[in-house]
A and B are shown apart, each in its own frame.
Chain A
Amino acid sequence: MSQNGHKPFLSVVIPTHNRRDVLIRILEALFSQDYPQERLQVVVVLDDCTDDTELALNALNPPVSLEYLCLPKVGQAAARNKGIRQSVGDLIVFLDDDVEPAPGFLRAHASAHSPADNLVVQGYYPFSRQLKRHLHMLSASRWWERHFERLGQPGRKLGPCDLCTGNLSVRREHLMAVGGFDEAFGGYGNEDYELGWRLSIHGLEFRFCREALGWHHYATPLSKSLMRTREEARADVTYGRKYPHLKRSFRLFTLTQERSISRTLIRALAFQFPKLGDRIASRLLKLMYPLERLGLRGTWTRINWTLRRYYYWRGITDSLGSYRALKEYLGNDWVKHPAKTRTRVTGIDLQNEAAVIEGLEGYEAAYILVKNGARPLSWLWMRSADGWLGPSQIKEAIEAQAWAGVTRGGVEGVRLMRAFLPSIIPVQISGRPRPLSEQAQKVELNELSWR
């Protein structure tokens, strides 16, 4: 516990892998922060660096205590653990080697921790503007912005897929108490999500701090980003093995539920004909840049999601092997639930900015919204076997409270404007309180991540 509430001793831990120039920029930004230099320690963990990062670090003349460790290839989780052990501060700030802190960054982290000592503070690290030239970067940036928007919702609790270590601060004692990062996550991805989940079980409160700003110099080319999707799939399997009860909230579960022809084909290629699939995927990848240059953004986006799904499934085949193994792995979650009880947001219809909620829950959501006068009825649409039902038909169904009957009659879902979703969460049905936040969670998970 620090004696000085506002200016605790900070240790900044930066794992790095072959990004010498950006790293030096980040260190210089850290050295010029308006934070007492005697209360700052910087620990750089060199994970299998082959680009003379060490020489560059030696050449620096740091005004603060700068330490570095050279490790053979160990992975992010182990590198950060080494960094934690090396650090001496009360508060540990994790920074990625491509996140350049803005002025006032350290002060914002320190003061975010001042009201209580049981906080996890996630900083904000949007993409730096000059990077956003390619569609790939724009889409990635969009995912991140949405992620930060979700984290910034007031009263947000830390979920299993929330925490990102690119710009994060936690007290050292809490990290030691939960045992740091899990080194079972050897490759890329999920070690931060998993730590977040353990910290939230440990009883820490979550705070998103927009003032703790770092600029993300995300410079991953598309092909590498796809390979990362593959690694993330492997990490998802590991994560699910560790927490079987969380499996349903992972992307793997959502993707397994997709039954359309094209999605099934992608899955089949990955599991049955990976050689053919890889060849097709690499051809498609070559098409991406010309498509972008010609302004065919729609096609680009469709192929992008296809590739992303394909490489996700390739990651699953890497760690599970066969389709049968996937079934065994998912266990009870593999079973398709009957339509009546299934709550599933099948996707966000980007064209109309609307979400489709299927099953009974969709009707209940619609019912709540209309009953409470939260939104006019004219914004609701229902999908039935023979097309979309208009507002007047829905009104009849709702007034007769006959939505359950309608469901049996073959109506599948309600389309709600995206703007509705936040308003669904706090509302409860009278007499039978039931939080609907699970639905909102699913909306997020349905999008593949872009990390």
Chain B
Amino acid sequence: MTRSRPTCSVVICTRDRPADLALCLDSVARLRGDAHEILVIDNAPSTPATQNLVREYQTERRLRYVLEPRPGLDIARNRGVIEAVGEIVAYTDDDCVVDQGWLEAPLRHFVDPEVACVTGLVAPRELETRTQELFEFNYGGMGRGLTRFTVDFSGIRVTDAGKVGTGANMFIRKSALLDIGLFNEALDCGMPTKSGGDTYAFYKLLAAGYRITYEPEAIVWHRHRRDDESLVNTVYGYGVGVASFLTACLVEDHDLAALATGWNWIRYWHLSRLYWKSRGRLDFPLKLVLAELWGGLMGPWAYLRAKKVVSRCNLPANEPFAPSLGLALSCRNADAEVER
């Protein structure tokens, strides 16, 4: 018995990174198999550079440019899923380069109607500087190993959803995403929470009984941060993201399992690293360990602030949403205010 493979839309969310985006679009243009829609979501741009870049590519493929004036990665992702026509939405980031066969293996998994999401391997695109090596080998990188696995709510504590993958390489069934109520707009980059939006979506999918498959054949090459300062920011952002994700589980879903995950995270990630550092057995700068821990402490407040930002951006329900530059600017001002 054969069931046909589902259709797919590739969504790339970007914000003011035209140089990286050009590489990403080159790789997407080389993807095997055609008839895939490609959407570039330009998130609250400060210059028209991205739009001009996409115009250069427009001649070749079914590429579409979408402007999303409200800043926030999850807001852009939601815009992407609403604009997408495919049954499956494939997300990657603008600082990634996709493998030629990126779409093949994951789309096979979606033949199983219970699979709502497939995540893939995120490998380093370059290991030129010490910082990049640190991130990939000593921190753990963004990959999740080379073993394929499928989980559902019974195989994993659902709040441990971070284990199943990252948002830089994920495929989500559109209907399932609509079922769980899209991404949580208060999470991820562009918001005070800095990351965690992908994890929260995985969590919601698992809690709703869907299966998630990790498929190492789907490869995305990610350019890790080159210099120390931006790595500190990234790692701090991860700390904030995990803590705000757990806060979201507690606040939005009243899920006490988040407390267990939080405790494990502190105990087996932070405290044990601090212990090994104190014994001189950890080859990772203390600055980064502390940055992530500090981020973890800031996370819950960051989530509450982000919720305020989102509610200020959203129009009252009786007014139709009309994206305008003025609104975008007011949101960004609000964001900046909170950041200050």
Interface residues of A (CB under 8 A from B): 126, 129, 132, 135, 137-139, 141-142, 145, 210-211, 293-298, 301, 350-351, 353
Residues of A within 8 A of B254 (CB): 293-295
Determine if A353 and B149 form an interchain contact, defined as CB atoms under 8 angstroms apart.
yes
Find out whether the CB atom of B179 lies under 8 angstroms from the CB atom of A297.
no
Of the listed stretches B14-22, B153-161, B234-242, chain A binds B153-161
Flag if B155 contacts A350 (CB, 8 Å). Answer: yes
A295→B257 contact, CB < 8 A: yes
Candidate in B1, B149, B254 with the most chain A CB atoms within 10 angstroms: B1
Using Cβ atoms and an 8 Å threshold, which residues of chain A touch B209? 132, 137-138, 141-142
Is the beta-carbon distance between B154 and A294 smaller than 8 angstroms?
no
> Closest Cβ of chain A: how far from B307's Cβ, in Å?
20
Q: Is residue B337 contacting chain A, with contact meaning CB distance below 8 A?
A: no
* CB of B206 to closest CB in A, whole Å: 10
Q: How far is the CA of A126 from the CA of B154 in the complex (A)?
A: 18
A294 touches B1 (CB 8 A): no
Whether the pair B258, A142 counts as a contact (CB closer than 8 A) is no
A132 vs B152: C-alpha distance when bound (angstroms): 13
Q: List 15 A-B contacts (CB under 8 A).
A: A126-B113, A132-B209, A135-B153, A145-B114, A210-B1, A294-B254, A295-B159, A295-B256, A297-B153, A297-B157, A297-B158, A298-B257, A301-B154, A350-B155, A353-B149
Verify if B283 is at the interface (C-beta below 8 Å from A).
no
- In the complex where A126-B113, A129-B179, A210-B1 touch, is A138 in contact with B153 (Cβ < 8 A)? yes
Across the interface, do A139 and B256 meet the contact criterion of CB distance under 8 Å?
A: no
For residue B253, CB closer than 8 A to chain A, the reply is yes
Q: Return B111 CB to nearest CB of chain A, in Å.
A: 11
Q: Are A295 and B258 in contact (CB under 8 A)?
A: yes
Please report the C-alpha to C-alpha distance between residue A381 and residue B155 in the assembled complex, in whole angstroms.
20
Chain A residue numbers with a CB within 8 Å of B257 are 295-298
A132 touches B208 (CB 8 A): yes
- Give the Cβ gap from B159 to chain A, nearest Cβ, in Å: 8
Q: Which of B228-270 contact A (CB under 8 A)?
A: 249, 253-258
In this complex, what residue of A is CB-closest to B210?
A132
The residues of A that contact B179 with a CB separation of less than 8 Å are 129
Distance (whole angstroms) from the CB of B161 to the closest CB of chain A: 13
Chain A residues in 8 Å Cβ range of B249: 295
Closest to A131 in B: B209
* B1 surroundings in chain A (CB, below 8 A): 210-211
Contact partners of B258 in chain A: CB under 8 A: 295
| Nearest A residue to B255, CB-CB | A295
Could you tell me if B253 and A295 are in contact, using CB atoms closer than 8 angstroms?
Answer: yes
| Pairs of residues from A and B, 8 with the lowest C-beta to C-beta distance, nearest first | A295-B255, A138-B209, A295-B257, A294-B256, A132-B209, A295-B256, A350-B155, A210-B1
> Which residues on the B side are within 8 Å of A210 (C-beta)?
1
CA of A288 to CA of B83, assembled, Å: 41
Bitwise, B94-116 to A at CB < 8 A (1) or not (0) is 00000000000000000001100
Distance, CA A205 to CA B188, complexed state (A): 55
CA distance A294 to B114 in the complex (A): 25
Of residues 199 through 242 on chain B, the ones whose CB sits less than 8 Å from some CB of chain A are: 208-209
Residues of chain A within 8 A of B255, CB atoms compared:
294-295
**Cβ distance A419 to chain B, nearest Cβ, rounded Å:** 9
> Which residues of A have CB within 8 Å of B158?
295, 297
CA distance A135 to B159 in the complex (A): 15
Nearest Cβ on chain A to B181's Cβ, whole angstroms: 13
Additional pairs, 12, CB under 8 Å, beyond known A295-B254, A297-B154, A350-B154: A145-B114, A211-B1, A294-B254, A295-B158, A295-B249, A295-B257, A295-B258, A297-B153, A297-B158, A298-B257, A301-B154, A351-B155
CA distance A32 to B253 in the complex (A): 41
Rounded to whole Å, the gap between the CB of B205 and the closest CB of chain A is: 12
Distance to closest chain B CB from A348 (angstroms):
10
Task: Using known A-B contacts A129-B179, A138-B209, determine if residue A296 contacts B256 with beta carbons closer than 8 Å.
Answer: yes
Are A142 and B152 closer than 8 Å at their CB atoms? yes
Q: Which residues of A contact B155 (CB under 8 A)?
A: 350-351, 353
Measured in the bound complex, the distance between the Cα atoms of B159 and A351 in whole Å is 15
Q: Give per-residue flags for B132-165: 1 if the beta carbon is below 8 A from chain A beta carbons, else 0.
A: 0000000000000000010011110111000000
Q: How far is the CA of A84 from the CA of B26 in the complex (A)?
A: 64
Query: How many Å from the CB of A234 to the closest CB on chain B?
Result: 28
Cα A316 to Cα B104 with chains together (Å): 51
Residues of chain A contacted by B153 (CB below 8 angstroms): 135, 138, 297
- In angstroms, Cα B243 to Cα A156, docked, is 48
CB distance from A123 to the nearest CB of B (A): 13
State the CA gap A296–B149 with chains docked (Å).
24
For B157, what are the chain A residues with a Cβ–Cβ distance below 8 Å? Answer: 297-298
Q: How far is the CA of A296 from the CA of B159 in the complex (A)?
A: 11
State A142–B152 Cα separation when bound (angstroms).
9
CB distance from A446 to the nearest CB of B (A): 15
Chain B minimum-CB-distance residue to A149? B112
Enumerate chain B residues within 8 angstroms of A353, measured Cβ to Cβ. Answer: 149, 155
Residues of B within 8 A of A135 (CB): 153
Q: B18 to nearest A CB, angstroms? A: 41
A145→B208 CA distance, assembly (Å)? 15
Complex Cα–Cα for A129 and B209 (A): 10
- A85 CB to nearest B CB, Å: 34
Bound-state Cα–Cα, A205 to B257, Å: 47
Q: How far is B134's CA from A371's CA once the two chains are assembled, in angstroms? A: 40
CA distance A353 to B1 in the complex (A): 27
